[in-house]
Chain A
Amino acid sequence: MRNLIEFFLRYSSWMLFVAYMAAGCFMLFHSNPWQHHVMLTSANAVSAVVYKGASNLTAYFHLRDINEDLQRRNSALELEVINLKQQLERTRELVYADTMTTDSALQRYSFILARVINNTTHRTHNYITIDKGSADGIRPEMGVMDQNGVVGIVNVTGPHSARVISLLNNHLRLSCKVKGHDHVGSLVWDGTDPEEAILEELPRHAVFEIGDTIVTSGFSTVFPEGVPIGTIVKGLRDHDENFFALRVRLFTDFTTLGTVRIISDSMTDEIREVERDIIDKK
């Protein structure tokens, strides 16, 4: 017994070494739950405090890099937002066009959706620029409207953009009538108030009341019949005694134009053909 103890004492350091090595190897190679005991991992309280303190300090060192990363990420996201917005706009246009063509009275017509990319209201001859052009099927003399009413008529088309003569342009005269009656007059802007225009040349025997709605007459291929324009504010005395003039408050808010619809008439060519034939025969 004594020899045994002596043996242990003499070789205690060797035994301790073996014991520690065994413990280390046990930890290293033995994948039992004990290895993942919280006290022996960096998740314990002391490590957490030390690491938290250190990261409080070192977090500042990386601010520049983090900032750059964020900037990069931010710009990537911004780009994505722009892309998604465009996609959304396109989809919305498609949905919009689909829902709009259900009106049976407008079967002859189809809509092309476009976004207004330039617009003025303060000049006497105002024009609007849209982001669709001949490549999208837009041709001159197509009618343009938005969700409220008439906007103008396509004037010049480029491949991917087009200029629209705004209703707020006194080069534009639009054939229209009081809703429910067939007396036709012509609408023109007097160059003062972007919210109001004048309906001239309405026959004297036409019946109307203040507040009546003015719609397009449909006497052209530009606009189908019945597209709303505005409401009558008051009657004016025209320069010619045989006609009425009416002050009309426009439905369309020209200062906040966003998406507009271009009316495509499938019968335009046919009607033109017929009309040309008539002229030729004369």
Chain B
Amino acid sequence: MSKTTIKFIFLAIMLIAVQVVVFNHIALLGYAVGFIFIYTLLHLPLTLSANWTLTIGFFMGLAVDIFADTQGMNAIACTILAALRRPVVKLYFPREEDITDPCPSARSLGFPVFAKYAITLSAIYCLVIFLVESMSFFRPLSLMLRIASSTLLTFLLMIATDSLTSSHNEKRL
């Protein structure tokens, strides 16, 4: 197993644990829920095959689902996220061959592009999660508020997590 694989396994376990133990229990102002564990999906190398990305996404979502007793919700959202990841990168960064580090981060893509990438994927994830969740009872205003606030919070968490992992890398180098 390469160093990158071990790093990603560690990152996934850490972030899922944090998600399950801390962020699943926090709803800021009763609306905003942060999904920190999707940073692992965002950060997966772009060189990784689509099949692997989908598989990792599905099982990470499933792991969170098992802990949170939300059968399939996060699994579906993560699978969709894994599928849309590459198109979104391409949308904001058309010349993929110019990327130095295959793992998307503020350092490899540059902050503005990474921020756009992160907020787009956060929005997609929150949209899917809350749409699926609200299928039983539909209250548009509350749903919009939840999606918007959760997207913002998740985006901030992405930036924060990214800066944390990046600084680690720099120290190591």
Contacts and interface: CB of A to CB of B under 8 A. Distances in A.
Interface string B73-85: 1011001100100
Interface in A24-58: 24-29, 35, 39-42, 44, 47, 50-51, 54
Interface string B89-114: 00000000000000000000000000
B79 A24 contact: yes
B71 A12 contact: no
A16 interface: yes
B132 A28 contact: yes
* Residue of B54, B57, B69 with most chain A CB atoms under a 10 A cut-off: B54
B66 A40 contact: yes
A164 B50 CA distance: 96
A59 to B, nearest CB: 13
A21 B17 contact: no
Interface of chain B, main secondary structure: helix
Contact of B55 (A16, A26, A41): A16
Interface residues of A, number: 23
Contacts of B83: 13, 17
A63 to B, nearest CB: 17
A13 B50 contact: yes
* Residue of A28, A39, A44, A51 with most chain B CB atoms under a 10 A cut-off: A28
Contacts of B50: 13, 16
A23 interface: yes
A51 B54 CA distance: 28
Nearest to A31: B71
A96 interface: no
B79 A27 contact: no
A32 B80 CA distance: 24
A24 B67 CA distance: 15
A24 B58 contact: yes
Contact of A20 (B49, B58, B73): B58
A23 B66 contact: no
B72 interface: yes
B79 A44 contact: no
Contacts, number: 67
Contact of A27 (B21, B55, B75): B75
Interface in A1-29: 12-13, 16-17, 20-21, 23-29
B156 interface: no
B76 A50 contact: no
A24 B57 CA distance: 12
Contacts of A54: 21
B68 interface: yes
B79 A21 contact: yes
B51 interface: yes
B75 A20 contact: yes
Given A13-B50, A16-B51, A17-B54, A23 B68 contact: no
A95 to B, nearest CB: 54
Nearest to A29: B72
Contacts of A51: 21, 67
Nearest to B76: A24
A12 B76 contact: no
Interface of B: 17, 20-21, 49-51, 54-55, 57-58, 61, 65-69, 71-73, 75-76, 79-80, 83, 132
Interface of A: 12-13, 16-17, 20-21, 23-29, 35, 39-42, 44, 47, 50-51, 54
